[in-house]
Amino acid sequence: RKEVEQDPGPFNVPEGATVAFNCTYSNSASQSFFWYRQDCRKEPKLLMSVYSSGNEDGRFTAQLNRASQYISLLIRDSKLSDSATYLCVVIAPGTYKYIFGTGTRLKVLA
Amino acid sequence: DVKVTQSSRYLVKRTGEKVFLECVQDMDHENMFWYRQDPGLGLRLIYFSYDVKMKEKGDIPEGYSVSREKKERFSLILESASTNQTSMYLCASSKIMNTEAFFGQGTRLTVV
């Protein structure tokens, strides 16, 4: 089983739609989680950290489900500019290692 | 703003050449990382460093070495470049354990 798994997509959604991605992780002791966004041929950039209580930043909401070992990202009112690959990142417990999922590709269509 | 700067955006090298990829961060971060990113494989950790002159192997260190002589600079060295090292190389840094990592703009290396 991969340490971090994501559905590669693509998720094709119309503008204004709500879309959600999940990411599962294998190590139940993992403590730190992030969502990064990566545009084509660019570097990954932090979108948001994921806290135990869940957190929201504008149209974006991140949730952590420790019992089922997954994190989620919800995007409301999708914009064309949200088209990108979304990377789930988990820090391996007790280490400096950031473990990346292979990413979920989102295309928002006009 | 945190800035992580990689020395080149694009590089073309010949098989067997020794290749140096340089990365500099300006935010006094303790940790620095080198990843490579390939389609379908995602980002894979090559090496990381948590302090000056300290380094640890990541998941795919074979064919690579690193150097960290100063806190702000982390170099990746391909001792003898091979075509299977053609990839996007990404440098990252973070302040302490469990905080977000910041990435450089990437170096797209082609080995011919």
Weakest-pLDDT range from A50-54, A65-69, A101-105: A50-54
pLDDT 10s digits, B29-78: 999 999 999 988 889 999 999 999 999 999 999 999 999 999 999 999 99
DSSP string spanning B51-62?
Answer: ETTEEEE-S--T
Nearest CA in chain B to A43: B105
Predicted local distance difference test score (pLDDT) of residue B98: 78
d(CA A66, CA A70): 7
pLDDT at A1 over 90: no
pLDDT 10s digits, B16-25: 999 999 999 9
pLDDT at A59 over 70: yes
Predicted local distance difference test score (pLDDT) of residue A31: 86
Asked if B90 contacts A45 with a C-beta cutoff of 8 angstroms, the reply is: no
d(CA A34, CA A69): 14
Quick one: tokens of B53? Answer: 């002159």
Taking CA atoms, B69 is separated from B6, B24, B53, in Å, by: 16, 12, 6
CA R_g for chain A: 13
Predicted local distance difference test score (pLDDT) of residue A93: 83
Question: Parallel, antiparallel, or unpaired for β B107-111 and B10-13?
Answer: parallel
Q: Is the Cα dihedral B60, B65, B68, B73 positive or negative?
A: negative
Matching residue, tokens 């999940």: A22
- Find the Cα–Cα–Cα–Cα dihedral A9, A43, B16, B46, rounded to 10°: -80
* H or E stretch at A22: strand A19-25
Which of A36, A49, A96, A102 to mutate against chain B (most B CBs within 10 Å)? Answer: A96
* B-chain residues near A44 (CB < 8 A): 43, 90, 103
* B-chain residues near A46 (CB < 8 A): 100-102
The residue among B104, B108, B106 whose CA lies nearest residue B3 is: B104
Work out the pLDDT band at B2, boundaries 50, 70, 90: low
**Contact assignment for B43 to A43 by CB distance below 8 Å:** no
> Which stretches of chain B are assigned E, i.e. beta strand?
4-6, 10-13, 19-25, 31-38, 42-51, 54-57, 64-70, 73-78, 87-94, 102-103, 107-111
